[in-house]
Amino acid sequence: MSTEAKRPPVPSPSPSPAAAQKRKEKGTPGDNGADAARATELAPTTPGVRRELLHSMLLQRRFEERCAEAYALGKIGGFCHLYIGQEAISTGVMSMIRPDDYVITAYRDHGQALARGVNPRSVMAELFGRQDGCSGGKGGSMHIFDAKTNFLGGHGIVGGHVPIAAGVGFAIKYRRGNQVCVCFFGEAAVNIGAFHEALNLASLWDLPVIFIIENNRYGMGTAISRSTANEDVLVRAKGYRMDGESVDGQDVFAVRECMARAVERARKGKRPTLIEMRTYRFMGHSMSDAVSGTYRTKDELEENMKRDPILLLHNRIFEAGELTEGEMHKLDDEAKAIAQDAWDFADASPEPPLEKLYADVYADTSS
Amino acid sequence: MAVVTYRDALTQALREELQRDDRVFLIGEEVAQYNGAYKVSKGLLDEFGPMRIVDTPITELGFAGVGVGAAMVGLRPIVEFMTWNFALLAIDEVVNAAAKMRYMSGGQFTMPMVFRGPNGAALQLGAQHSQAWESWFAHIPGLKVCTPATPADAKGLLKSAIRDDNPVVFLEGEMLYNTKGEVPDGEHLVPFGVADLKREGDHCSVITHGKMALVAMKVADDLAKEGINIDVVDLRTVRPIDVEAISRSVQKTNRAVVLEEGWEICGMGSQVVDFIQRECFDDLDAPVLRVHQEDVPMPYAKNLERAAKPDAGKAIAAIKKVMYLD
Ligand SMILES: Cc1ncc(C[n+]2csc(CCOP(=O)(O)OP(=O)(O)O)c2C)c(N)n1
Ligand SMILES: [Mg+2]
């Protein structure tokens, strides 16, 4: 396990360190106090980069707010899992990898797709089940795939894609490449057998895979304390002789730093890493699940929403004097405009033609 | 008779059997505190407590195996899969353990347990979440497989399943939970291997099970207006399967359509057609036709999904074809 996990927290620039401490005791993701202005050796940012990070997170937020609206109107069907509240993770992670790296994830995949650079129009069209969707309307919300950005899918079976990530790592090694594969999944997936098999293989064979647990503390209605014998999910790294880190997933800078180490470890050291990113989902598990009041209290939700990753980043940039209120609004308006454009595009895109029903069952239909 | 939903009928069955036999317990994801992902176990935690209504982590292989172990030594587990799509992770325990434990042990260990949960496609859930598994499990000697279509059958079959000393795969229709129907008052058990004639007619037999039985009943009512009267043979259990009921109907109508939710190749219909050609070869006035899901993974887009699924229109076309009316 990396010593990084035990690194003393950097002095926090947050207005009320005492309040942050209190939140920590209550079990909300801790603020380890990374500073926007700080240029770390591993993941330096410039004002321009910081603005891009904010833009990426705002886009996901605004896009998914429109998803909720479209769902209510019946334009999106089936299961739809929103990522709202977790955007610092997708943005931070994607900002640290290269276009030729690979990304694979579970069903809560819109935010990651957008942060990866999948065209918002093709994501929305996919959600609308239209011809111009990234999978031609055949996948839907849980199955966003985009070969252009090496986005290897949203996968619907909990834990099922974790060994697939090891397979991608195997292929990278096989071809003597220096890419990495990033694999996202929820904390509930760490109890699935496939997760354990994948970690063992990745470590045994020195595969360049970064396994990211997005610990939002609930798997549907089940709190981690009710599902996981050892809530310290990082011990699973130790069990497989793998480096592991735990990081505040609401802090995009912390995410980036931690990723910098993991990417280096994968590219240069050819070793996998397990990262726990502590976060919280602000919406229900899916569109049919209550936001709060059943398995988590409104108080708990509100407490956690104070650490909205977008707000945290915004405040830091703002406090550093890098962005005026007006510029901030402009960024937000841009994000809204992209979401609106994606909606309009998706709405205008036709349903897939019926002859597509039998297309792509096999690669070669001649045999 | 009270009119209840399919969901409530299942809850009644669970409650009655939990009350009747304290070896019976329910285990699965979100079954207790969340009252079930589809609310089938609503209220049961309050009534029976956490030793008998057991929430699990997302560990299908693990808790199915826990069920098998508990059954080996005398308990009567009901293992709930949130949906049968996730049961694939546990198929080793269902097929390699539960189904053959008694046989492998020369009859020493029985498996009085039920694996249950929603089966089949709902709406726009996509390829990994829209699948009908009955033919997979019906293939396996040692398992029994129930596919109830109505609240009465759901209740009666589930009670029988819980009392059965064999492993029973119980496939509930994900789209049926809110449907309503009359359920007999008092103790209501439905035996396995006995089909139910849900509509009667002389012109054609529609042999079906599960959610498709509702489609067939609607088709029967619609066709009756055109003067076409069909038998709807609802198999209710696909293993054991009521071959006699199938033959009886086909020998009367001389024509048959087999309607199912799953795929064509090696589907339930393949087996039913085989029984028909063996038992009713000389009775047939037309080749038997099958209606089923198109031979593709389920697409997400609304229009493609509609095109992929079997439905009333496709069933009517097949019926008219075997009657040479098209
Ligand atoms: C094998 C399997 N079992 C059950 C489900 C149903 N299910 C979908 S998401 C989910 C919760 C997963 O929680 P977590 O891994 O923490 O991810 P989160 O939803 O919090 O992002 C469950 C139980 C599934 N998709 N796959
Ligand atoms: Mg979670």
CATH number at B177 reads 3.40.50.970
Ligand 2 centroid distance, CA of A57 (Å): 20
Residue B158, pLDDT above cutoff 70: yes
Q: How many domains does chain B have?
A: 2
**Residue B7 near residue B178 (C-beta atoms within 8 A):** yes
pLDDT at B234: 99
Report the alpha-carbon distance of residue A278 to residue A28 in Å, rounded: 8
**With left for phi above 0 and alpha for psi between -120 and 50, is residue B217 left, alpha or beta?**
alpha
Residue pLDDT, tens place only, A70-108: 999 999 999 999 999 999 999 999 999 999 999 999 999
**Residues B206, B219: contact at Cβ < 8 Å?**
yes
Model-level pTM?
A: 0.92
Chain A CB within 8 Å of residue B92 CB: no
> Mean per-residue pLDDT for B213-239?
98
When CB atoms are compared, the residue of A77, A139, A354 closest to B123 is: A77
- Helix, strand, coil distribution of chain A in percent, nearest 5: 45, 10, 45
Cα B112 to chain centroid, rounded: 18
| Integer CA distances (angstroms), A176 to A164, A201, B177, B259, in order | 18, 18, 53, 52
The catalytic residue positions of B are: 60, 129
- Which residues in chain B belong to E strands, given as ranges? 2-5, 24-28, 53-55, 76-80, 114-119, 144-146, 168-173, 180-183, 196-199, 204-208, 230-234, 237-239, 256-263, 289-293
Rounded CA separation A33/A258 (Å): 14
Domain boundary among B162, B183, B204: B183
Selected residues 128-147 of chain B with any CB under 8 Å from a CB in chain A: 128-129
If DSSP codes are grouped into helix, strand and coil, which group holds residue A105? strand
Residue B189 maps to a domain = no
Question: Do B295 and B234 share a domain, yes or no?
Answer: yes
Residue B61 lies in a domain: yes
Query: Measured between beta carbons, which residues in chain A are less than 8 angstroms from residue B296?
Result: 357-358, 361
Cα B8 to middle of ligand 2, angstroms: 30
**Which residues of chain B neighbour A194 with C-beta distances below 8 Å?**
89
What are the C-alpha distances in Å from A144 to residues A189, A251, B250? Answer: 19, 26, 47
Our answer on whether the CB atom of A296 is closer than 6 Å to any ligand 1 atom is: no
Which pLDDT value is given to residue B90? 98
Name the residue among B261, B316, B257, B302 with its Cα closest to residue B284: B257
- CA-to-CA distance for B101 and B115, rounded, in angstroms? 15
Q: B105 vs A289, B90, B93, B163, B253, CA distance in Å?
A: 45, 21, 16, 21, 45
Sorting pLDDT into bands at 50, 70 and 90, what band is B63? Answer: very high
**On the CB side of A220, how many CA atoms lie within 13 Å of its CA?**
19
In the predicted structure, residue B188 carries a pLDDT above the cut 60 = yes
The whole-angstrom separation of Cα B167 and Cα A123 is 44
Annotate B190-219 with three-state secondary structure.
CCCCCCEEEECCCCEEEEECCHHHHHHHHH
Nearest CA in chain B to A222: B30
Task: Round to whole Å and give the CA distance between B235 and B247.
Answer: 12
Q: Is B204 inside a domain boundary?
A: yes
Which ligand is nearest the CA of A188, by number?
1
What is residue A28's predicted lDDT score, i.e. its pLDDT? 39
- Sorted by where each begins, the domain ranges of chain A are 13-342
Q: Are A86 and A93 in contact (CB under 8 A)?
A: no
CB contact under 8 A, B126 and A143: yes
A187 lines ligand 1 (CB under 6 A): yes
From the list A125, A79, A355, the residue with the least C-alpha distance to B307 is A355
Cα dihedral sign for A63, A69, A75, A81?
A: positive
Q: Best mutation site among A81, A141, A158 for ligand 1, i.e. most ligand atoms within 8 A of its Cβ?
A: A158
The bridge status of strand A209-215 relative to strand A273-278 is parallel
User: Is pLDDT larger for residue A323 or for residue B123?
Assistant: B123
Helix, strand counts (H, E) of chain B: 12, 14
Ligand 1 within 6 A of CB of B86: yes
Q: Which residue has the CA at smallest separation from atom 7 of ligand 1?
A: A158
CA distance linking residue B57 with residue B38, whole number of Å: 17
pLDDT (tens digit, 0 to 9) for every residue of chain A, 367 residues total? 333 333 222 222 233 333 333 333 333 344 444 444 444 678 999 999 999 999 999 999 999 999 999 999 999 999 999 999 999 999 999 999 999 999 999 999 999 999 999 999 999 999 999 999 999 999 999 999 999 999 999 999 999 999 999 999 999 999 999 999 999 999 999 999 999 999 999 999 999 999 999 999 999 999 999 999 999 999 999 999 999 999 999 999 999 999 999 999 999 999 999 999 999 999 999 999 999 999 999 999 999 999 999 999 999 999 999 989 899 999 999 999 999 999 999 999 999 999 999 999 999 856 5
B292 belongs to a structural domain = yes
**Across-strand partners of B196?**
B234
Q: Is the CB of B242 under 6 A from ligand 1?
A: no
Under 8 Å between Cβ of A152 and A168: yes
**Distance from C-alpha of B134 to C-alpha of B260, rounded to nearest angstrom:** 10
Please state, in angstroms and rounded to a whole number, the distance separating the CA atoms of residues A106 and A270: 24
Range of the domain at B273: 196-322
Residues B12 and B160 in one domain: yes
Distance from CA of A277 to the nearest CA of B (A): 20
Cβ contact, residue pair B125, A221, below 8 Å: no
Residue of the CA atom closest to atom 18 of ligand 1: A186
Q: Is residue B191 part of a domain?
A: no
| C-beta atoms of A191 and B297 within 8 A | no
Task: List pLDDT tens digits, range A23-33.
Answer: 333 333 444 44
Question: If residue B11 lies in a helix (H) or strand (E), which one and from where to where?
Answer: helix B6-20
Q: How many CA atoms lie within 13 A of A183 on its CB side?
A: 30
Query: Which amino acid, one-letter code, is at A57?
Result: M
Assess whether B160 and B201 both reside in one domain.
no
| B142 shares a domain with B39 | yes
Here the tokens at position B313 are 């229109």
How many angstroms separate the alpha carbon of residue A106 from the centre of ligand 1?
9
Cβ contact B193:B237 at 8 Å: yes
Q: For residue A270, is it left (φ>0), alpha (ψ between -120 and 50) or beta?
A: left
Which candidate from B57, B62, B303 shows the least CB-CB separation from A228?
Answer: B57
- The pLDDT value recorded for residue B125 is 97
> From residue B74, how far is each of A106, B24, B52 by CA, in Å?
38, 10, 15
Contact A352/B295, CB-based, under 8 Å? no
DSSP state letter for B133? -
Nearest alpha carbon to residue B262 among B293, B239, B235, B238: B293
Residues B64-76: pLDDT tens digits? 999 999 999 999 9
Token pair, residue A84, equals: 């709202």
Which chain B residues have a beta carbon less than 8 Å from that of A220? 29-30, 34, 37
Strands of the sheet containing B256-263, edge to edge, are B196-199, B230-234, B204-208, B256-263, B289-293
CB-based contact, A290 to chain B, within 8 Å: no
Residue among B30, B126, B308 minimizing CB distance to A220: B30
CB contact under 8 A, A157 and B89: yes
Residue B188 lies in a domain: no
Co-location of B138 and B32 in the same domain: yes
Average pLDDT, chain B: 98
Cα–Cα dist A367/B8, whole Å: 48
Determine the Cα–Cα distance for residues A120 and A130; give it in Å rounded to an integer.
13
- Are residue B214 and residue B318 in the same domain, yes or no? yes
Longest distance between any two alpha carbons in chain B, whole Å: 59
Cα distances (Å, whole numbers) of residue A98 to A101, A260, A263, B113: 5, 12, 10, 51
Ligand located closest to A162 CA: 1
- Whether B172 is in a domain gets the answer yes
Report the percentage of chain B scoring pLDDT > 90.
99
Give CA A320 to chain center in angstroms.
26
Cα–Cα distance, B249 to B237 (Å, whole number)? 17
Same domain, B100 and B218: no
Per-residue model confidence (pLDDT) at position A40: 62
Enumerate helices (H) and strands (E) in chain A, giving the number of each: 13, 8
DSSP assignment of A33-100: ---TT---SSS---HHHHHHHHHHHHHHHHHHHHHHHHHHTTSS-S-----TT-HHHHHHHHTTS-TT
Q: How far is CA B283 from CA B162, B220, B254, in A?
A: 39, 22, 5
- Are residues B39 and B117 both part of a single domain? yes
Is the pLDDT at B262 greater than 60? The verdict is yes
Helical (H) or strand (E) element with A245: strand A243-248
Name the closest residue on chain A to residue B300, using Cα atoms: A138
Same domain membership, residue B210 and residue B76: no
CB–CB contact A157 B125 (8 Å):
no
The answer on B276 and B173 residing in a single domain is no
Do the beta carbons of residue B309 and residue B124 sit within 8 Å? no
Whether B235 maps to a domain, the answer reads yes
Q: How far apart are CA A243 and CA A19, in angstroms?
A: 31
Q: Between vectors from CA A8 to CA A47 and to CA A56, what angle results, nearest 5°?
A: 30
Interchain proximity B124–A129, CB inside 8 Å: yes
Beta strand pairing status for B180-183 and B168-173?
unpaired
- Cβ distance A357 to B89 less than 8 Å, yes or no, reads no
What is the CATH number that goes with domain A13-342? 3.40.50.970
Is the CB–ligand 1 distance for residue A265 below 6 Å?
Answer: no
Nearest CA to ligand 1 atom 25: A157
pLDDT attached to residue A365 = 57
Asked if A347 is an interface residue toward chain B (Cβ–Cβ < 8 A), one would say no
Ligand 1 close to Cβ of residue B60 (< 6 A): yes
Whole-angstrom distance, CA of residue A254 vs CA of residue A30: 11
Residues 6+ apart with CB under 8 A from B267: B135, B260, B290, B292
3-class secondary-structure state, position A319? helix
- For chains A and B, count residue pairs whose Cβ atoms are closer than 8 Å: 127
C-alpha B273 – ligand 2 centre gap (Å): 46
Pair (B210, B174) in one structural domain: no
Q: Kindly state whether residues B52 and B178 are assigned to the same domain.
A: yes
